[in-house]
Structure 1
Amino acid sequence: MFIEVLHRAYGYGLLGLLALFFLRAYRHRDHRKLPYGILSVTEAWMYLLRGRSIIERGAQKLGAVADNFSRTIRASQCLPAPGTRMHVVSSVNHWKEISNAHCGKLSAHAVSKEMFRPQYSMGGIEWSEYRDEDGMPATRGVRTVTHQLPHLTPKFAAAFDAQFSSTLKELPHDSKFTNNGYWPQMMRARICLSTHHANLTTLYDHREYKPVIRAIFRLESVRRSLFAHVGDLVAERKKKNRFQDPSLKPNSVLESIVDVCPRYFSDERMVVDVIMSWITTNALAVTGALLLVDLCNYTEHVPALCQELVDLYKDPVADLDKLRFLESFIMESSRTNAFMGVMAQRIAIEDFTFSGGYTIPEGQWVQLNQQRWLQDPNTYPRPEHFDPYRKLYQARRFTDVSPEWPIWGVPKLACPGKHHVLVVMKLLLIHVVSNYEVDSVAGKSGKVDWWEARLPNSKARLMMRKRVCQRGVSYVIRRLQLFTDGFHGHNQTQPCRDDVQSRFIANTYRQDRWYPGTVENFNFLRYT
């Protein structure tokens, strides 16, 4: 009897909470901002879980990019989302008008504030409503330090070597193909590489701070510890600026942000900019993990990647710009995955009307459907097919910004870290192709869709086996020398069984040990 009463009370309690939720949504409804009605509220929360597929189905019904890129009204859809409405557009006219729109009408800065909520995540520091005051220092800082990428490249390469080696040593091995997890190791690499880029290496090198980095912002004490350490680095940089030659260029994002921030900015304000530029590197982990999945799924392209490295045998790390097929492989992976199904997200500060007549009400979001563009058969024949040999890539670079390649946003506010992403992705491919033999992903799919994004499947596993050279020393990127010298004159062990007869392959020998592990073992790219 008591159990039955308890079950009824539990059921009535759930129904009451559900009724309160819908009542609150109805009382605060606004036909221009909030969806109303039980069905619309349900659809809004479904968008949070399956936004990518919802956008794709809507685009297919509208025929948004079927024949004519210039269509405007028909290339637009309005979808309910939690707390607002999402307007998804997909024409070149929309792309141009969003790029040219004044930040006082369509604001990317307002999107950042809505996503990060600095009043909660940044210790109560309020951002200004104007991008010139709060958004520009971090953007200018990242752009300024781009010229230092050649100097940072060896450090990035060494970070990949250290993270892969330390992870695989901890895993059991046998003589067969076994599954290898990759996602957590990619996340750890993301933190490691981004600390070099932001000059937070002292934070990463101290063992006591590693849990702080990996659990960033989860606990209030963690946030305070991180802010305190970054604050010390900011204060040290400001002190150096008083005595050093002003003509000296900054060597990291942290130094660059401190240099470009207005004088009236407090140390706390600069710390927020540094950490925000650091957090955005999370996309590296996702992009890198999806790239590894594609490398394992399309192993038929590995020989061509190896041959390109052979052509730059002496120092491929220093000649990254010459690795065009490797860059094409990265571009095709980015195109087929489209990490974010939408881009150029803006919030309407006031009612905004496109030239075609479509209106975005104040307070609602507008975004471009890049997933549809990257799957357009008029631009990419057989778009569902993974083909890094596409002719389009011969005249286009990964860092280009155009309607045919919209992953970096619109020209006026393109992603300032695109060159950094390209360098890291190239180094990742070079390291894996040079040091490991890979095979198709086993078990579950390596990719899952959530919200508007495509993410690595945390339960997926890939196949990886380490290569060793004749001397038994693994191929690793060490300093600037990718390939070890002196292959000749050493005792040969097990001959390489690869079909491709190149110097890279012929002088390489396999170690018959396959490293198993879950996806959690490849978390290091998050710390890149």
Structure 2
Amino acid sequence: AKGKAFQVLSPESLMTIVSSPKDVRDIALATNDQLSLHAAAKEILQPEYTMNGFNWHDQRGIEGIGFVRTLRTLLTQHLPQLTPGTRVIIERTFADEVGRGGSINGNICLPDQEALSLVKKVVTKISGLAFFGRDRMEDDAFMDAAYYYNEDVLYGAEVLRLIPQFLVPVVGKVLPLFLGRQRTFYNGLVEMIEERVNAPSPDKKYVCVLIKNDVIQWIIDTSPKSNPWSPGRMAFEVMAIWFGSVQGLATTLTFALFNLSTHPEYIQPLREEMESPAGGEFFVKGEGLPLMDSFLKESSRWTPVESVTTRRCALKDFTFSNGTHVEKGNWICIPVGPMLRDASYYPQPDTFNGFRFASPELVGGAPSIQPEGPSKFTDISDTWQVWGTGRITCPGRYFVSYVMKHIMVHILENYEPEMVQKTGKHTLDWRTLTLPRPGVKVDFKPRA
């Protein structure tokens, strides 16, 4: 479309697709009562039926946005303290699933341990530590429900999208009967929150021991004070954040693992960086490793999870500064997939260049291939819409980067990863999503 807006009829509404920097900035400047991510997400996910009865407001911020401070500030600041527990989880999970000192069954993962399954198990446990502390880490039923929560929501929502609209309320009332893990997850969260809310105030002498530092506690602390939330409402907030973190993180990391396995020329320089002072700095601060950072960013450019992002539902008629008009109830989206393969934004877009975003002095001094120069995985820009747009960007992106780097470091420390299936497609497309193809395995040979 060469930056021009165009329209597509989707199952939900008439979508206006925009990509020019000016149009993107118009979206960023729109007020909450003009364009709504919440309304679009509610239309897709049908949370009233797929998230144990959660039915959020169409307009962002009506009940506060404490989750932004929870993820962007409190969780990010807490990342260095998570490192010891994170490292233990990664080491134990890989030892259990792949085998101590190497892979098993002739150096090939067992059929039920394909790449996505392994990565998601590790990511779920690390996210559990960050979200719940150690309160429910040993509760197998609860953690199993947390592991499958995102899939259950997506499958339930897909059923509702495929049936006639008049049947949605009928089928929606029956659907929770098949989503028992939802209730397990929700009830476990409510129980945890009630225990904390009703706990007596700790003696100041022991406050440093008793205070919790995890997402659940921060949601409790940042919830509205003028109109206090119930434990159930807080549980819904945690469930919404969980949905936005685990599946996308696991999928993005799986693609990075695929790219590392198919581009082994990056293994040695990444190891050298990891074993340099930059590696020690990462373990202390929870951020850094610029070559690894560039590799993860290029992997996300090469295989984005979503081909369309920044979905917004017009809560009232909306007109872009160039005159493009969107009627109330219709959607606006950004085609992030095609943008990430646009040569005007990303030179040589059809070549995987793991260090395209790194500083030139780190990769031999050649000029940066990117017109804007070096950049970080977690950066936001008009042309890098992976994390969102304007004021509504992913507040947990620093946690995502942190987890991905720790798991990649462990793999580089211990294994020589290779794709078991050397040829064929490793991904599949489902609506606007790109997902790892089921059964695709990575061979984790012991590091020489």
Q: What's the TM-score once normalised by structure 1's chain length?
A: 0.70
Residues in 1 aligned to 2:110 and 2:140: alpha-carbon distance in whole angstroms: 31
Gaps of 5+ in 1: 1-61, 65-74, 468-509, 511-528
Residue of structure 2 aligned with 1:155, choices 82, 85, 93: 85
* Residue correspondences, number: 396
CA apart distance, 1:211: 3.5
Deviation, structure 1 residue 419: 0.3
Gaps (5+ residues) in structure 2?
A: 154-177, 357-367
Q: In structure 1, what is the equivalent of residue 218 of structure 2? A: 256
Aligned 8 A contact 2:116 2:436 in 1: yes
CA distance in 2, matches of 1:175, 1:224: 39
Q: Secondary structure at the match of 1:449?
A: strand
The aligned amino acid for 1:399 is T
Paired position in structure 1 for 2:405: 426
1:90 partnered with 2:19? yes
Q: Does the residue aligned with 1:432 lie in a helix, a strand or coil?
A: helix
Offset at residue 322 of structure 1 (A) = 3.7
* Residue type at the aligned position of 2:118: Q
Shift in CA distance, 411/244, structure 1 to aligned 2, threshold 3 Å: farther
Q: Distance in 2 between matches of 1:325 and 1:315?
A: 14
The residue that corresponds to 1:184 in the other structure is 117
Identity of aligned pairs, percent? 25
CA distance in 2, matches of 1:357, 1:157: 52
Aligned residues of 2:98 and 2:109 also touching (Cα < 8 A): no
CA contact (8 A) 1:444 1:459 kept: no
Letter in 2 for 1:288: L
1:226 aligned onto 2:185: yes
* 1:163-312 superposed matches below 5 A: 163-169=93-99, 172-174=104-106, 181-199=114-132, 201-216=134-149, 217=152, 219-240=178-199, 242-243=201-202, 251-263=213-225, 264-281=228-245, 282-312=247-277
Q: Partner of 2:442 in structure 1?
A: 462
Structure 1 CA distance for aligned equivalents of residues 26 and 388 of structure 2? 13
**Cα offsets for 1:54-86 (capped at 9, x unmatched):** xxxxxxxx233xxxxxxxxxx212111113122
| 1:436 aligned to which of 410, 415, 420 | 415
Task: Please list, as runs of the form range in 1=range in 2, the aligned pairs for 1:318-329 lying within 5 A after superposition.
Answer: 318=284, 321-329=287-295
| 1:102 and 2:61 are equivalent in the alignment | no
1:416 to 359, 382, 395: 395
Q: SS of 1:318's equivalent?
A: helix
Cα distance in 1 between the residues matched to 2:243 and 2:343: 35
Following the alignment from structure 2 to structure 1, what is the Cα–Cα distance between the partners of residues 143 and 320?
48
CA contact (8 A) 1:299 1:440 kept: no
Kindly indicate whether residue 22 of structure 2 is the aligned counterpart of residue 63 of structure 1. Answer: no
Q: Distance in 2 between matches of 1:236 and 1:308?
A: 44
Taking only aligned residues, the RMSD between alpha carbons, in angstroms, comes to 2.6
Match for residue 160 of structure 2?
Answer: none
Contact (CA 8 Å) 1:293, 1:441: kept in 2 or not?
Answer: no
Matched, 1:352 2:318: yes
Q: Distance in 1 between matches of 2:105 and 2:35?
A: 54
Could you tell me whether the CA contact under 8 Å between 1:297 and 1:441 is conserved in 2? no
Q: For the Cα contact (< 8 Å) 2:80–2:285, is it kept in 1?
A: no
2:347 maps to which residue? 381
- For the 8 Å contact 1:320–1:426, the answer to whether it is kept is no
Residue 385 of structure 1 aligns to a residue whose secondary structure is: coil
Whole-Å Cα distance in 2 between the matches of residues 387 and 172 of structure 1? 32
Measure the CA separation in 2 of the matches of 1:168 and 1:257. Answer: 35
Matched, 1:330 2:296: yes
Match of residue 404 from structure 1: 383
Which letter maps to 1:279?
F
Q: Which residue of 1 aligns with 2:337?
A: 371
- Whole-Å separation in 2 of the counterparts to 1:156 and 1:137: 25
AA in 1 matched with 2:446: K
Instruction: Tell me the secondary structure at the aligned position of residue 233 of structure 2.
Output: helix
- Cα displacement (A) at 1:404: 2.9
Counterpart contact for 2:12–2:43, Cα < 8 Å? no
Does the residue aligned with 1:350 lie in a helix, a strand or coil?
coil
Seen in structure 2, the aligned counterparts of structure 1 residues 424 and 314 have a Cα distance that, compared at 3 Å, is closer
Match of 2:443, SS state, is: strand
Tell me which of 309, 314, 321 is aligned to 1:343: 309
Instruction: Give the secondary structure class of the aligned counterpart of 2:287.
Output: helix
- 2:68, 2:395 within 8 Å by CA — same for their partners in 1? yes
CA contact (8 A) 1:106 1:346 kept: yes
Deviation string 1:453-484 (CA, Å, 9 cap, x unpaired) is: 221111322222023xxxxxxxxxxxxxxxxx
Q: Could you tell me which of 27, 37, 44 is aligned with 1:115?
A: 44
1:171-220: CA deviation from partner (whole Å, max 9, x where unpaired): 74337999972111112122111111111543331234344334435734
Which AA in structure 2 matches 1:262?
A: P
Rounded to whole Å, the distance in 1 between the matches of 2:213 and 2:445 is 36
Letter in 2 for 1:231: V
3-state SS in 1 of match to 2:137:
helix
Flag the 1:303–1:372 CA change in 2: closer, same or farther, 3 A: same
Q: Report what 1:497 is aligned to.
A: none
1:100 Cα deviation after fit: 0.5
Q: CA deviation at 1:250?
A: 5.8
Cα distance between partner residues in 2 of 1:274 and 1:301: 37
1:389 positional shift: 2.5
- Cα deviation for residue 320 of structure 1 reads 5.1
Q: Deviations over 1:277-302 (max 9, x none)?
A: 11211111110110100000111111
Q: 1:325 to 1:120 in 2, by over 3 A?
A: same
Matched to 1:367, the amino acid is C
Change (3 A) 1:250 1:88: farther
Which one-letter code corresponds to 1:273 in the other structure? E
Q: 1:355 to 1:236 in 2, by over 3 A?
A: same
- Whichever of the two has the greater Rg, that structure is 1
Q: CA deviation at 1:131?
A: 1.8
- Matched-pair contact (CA < 8 Å) for 1:137–1:261: yes
3-state SS in 1 of match to 2:188 = helix
Give the 3 Å change call, closer, same or farther, for CA 319–148 of structure 1 in structure 2.
Answer: closer
Aligned position for 2:162: none
| The 10-residue stretch of structure 1 (357-366 or 125-134) with the greater mean CA deviation from structure 2 | 125-134
SS in 2 for 1:169: coil
Q: Deviations over 1:383-412 (max 9, x none)?
A: 110112322496311111111322111131
TM-score (norm 2): 0.81
Cα shift readout 1:467-504 (whole Å, capped 9, x = no counterpart): 3xxxxxxxxxxxxxxxxxxxxxxxxxxxxxxxxxxxxx
Q: Quick one: which amino acid aligns to residue 412 of structure 2? A: V
